[in-house]
Amino acid sequence: MTVASTFVDSATIEEQLATARAAIADRETVSRVVLTACGGSFANMQPNEYFLGNRATTLESVALNAAEFTSRGSSRVDADTVVILCSHSGTTPETVAAAAHARSRGALTVAFTFDPASPLAQEAEYVIAYQHGDGKSESYVGGALILRLVAAILDEREGASLSPAIDAAVAQLPVLVPAARAAHTEAADAWAFQTRREPLIYTMAAGSNYGTAYSFAICLLQEMQWVHSAAIHAGEYFHGPFEVTDVDVPFIALLGLDETRPVEQRAVDFLTKHTDRALVIDAKEFGLDGVAAEVQGVFAHLLFNVVLRTYADALADHRGHPLSVRRYMWRMEY
């Protein structure tokens, strides 16, 4: 995995975002948006697919794993398509290939990456290089910037007028993120101590929060802790998965603020009656009163990301297994 040598400043990022937004606006025939990536970056695309699918009346949208996107070779990817890609290092082979495939079909490509000199940045037409690591602003991390671009697309194509509210919400992240992390530090430590020897932990959510549950399951638990896990969609819980619920089976369930909260609440109500090991994290406790009501739902996943990372950090500490340790990733050809 490569590490970028350049820390992009906020003014440059704003310029890159504005350039990409203008390029999309200039392509008057745009009728569909494809969001594609792998792993945690793909998880960041899923709430944005929800955002587009929930607010658009004419735009088509889909989120696809990058390898599947290229393999499908869909004839629907053409000059009327915007393809948004993300790879943290900018070296994910499947995502780089997806950018090349999209351009070969005439689509407009916008890539998000930490490394502005990476292969993905070279392959895509437009690049937005987000911040990461020491000194970063929470307003300029990848998930926040993808959300801003999608809001801009909805404004320009659907007349939605969502960008002001999303931009204002994202500007509050440098205050909201430390507060959310601090509010869960003690609870995360207690949960991690209790859960440190569990071989399996389920996660559950719906709507714009499902991507966060999915990322926690496949990246933070499976990849980084070697703990068996599965992300369960709360709407699917009663169609099979609830049969694994038992008094000693650990679950993490998210309660969001979007239109699918009743779906999540129904699952949580059953879960908490039938297991003593349910950790429920409710976005109502994130202090989002200063965020416009019409965007609180899709914005909340950015705080769920931070809060779940706090639980993952604590679990890694109590298991004596740093999140950076891998068996295979970056250690061999695969």
Domain boundaries defined on the chain: 10-169, 183-319
Q: What is the pLDDT of residue 327?
A: 93
pLDDT at 102 over 70: yes
Q: How many CB atoms lie within 10 A of CB 27?
A: 13
What is the secondary structure of 59-108 as a DSSP string?
-EEEEEEHHHHHHH--TT-STTEEEEEE-SSS--HHHHHHHHHHHHTT-E
Q: Where are the alpha helices (DSSP H) in the chain?
A: 10-26, 39-55, 66-72, 93-104, 119-123, 142-158, 163-171, 173-195, 210-215, 224-225, 261-274, 293-319
pLDDT at 3 over 80: no
pLDDT at 131 over 80: yes
pLDDT tens-digit map of 258-285: 999 999 999 999 999 999 999 999 999 9
Q: What is the pLDDT of residue 6?
A: 59
Report yes or no on whether pTM surpasses 0.85.
Answer: yes
Q: Would you tell me which CATH number, out of the four given (3.30.360.10, 2.60.40.10, 3.40.50.10490, 2.40.10.10), belongs to the domain 183-319?
A: 3.40.50.10490
Instruction: Calculate what percentage of the chain has a pLDDT beyond 90.
Output: 94
Side-by-side strand order, sheet with 81-86: 60-65, 32-37, 81-86, 108-113, 126-129
Q: Give the end-to-end CA distance of the chain in Å, rounded to a whole number.
A: 13
Whether 183-319 and 10-169 are alike in CATH topology: the answer is yes
Among residues 253, 321, 324, 257, the alpha carbon closest in space to that of 293 is found at 257
Q: Which fold has domain 10-169?
A: Rossmann fold (3.40.50)
Among residues 82, 75, 64, 78, the alpha carbon closest in space to that of 125 is found at 82
Separation CA 309–CA 312 (nearest Å)? 5
pLDDT tens-digit map of 176-196: 999 999 999 999 999 999 999
Place of tokens 């437009």: 126
pLDDT at 78 over 50: yes
Q: Which residues contact 244 (CB under 8 A, 6 or more apart)?
A: 202
Q: How many CB atoms lie within 10 A of CB 14?
A: 14
pLDDT at 308 over 80: yes
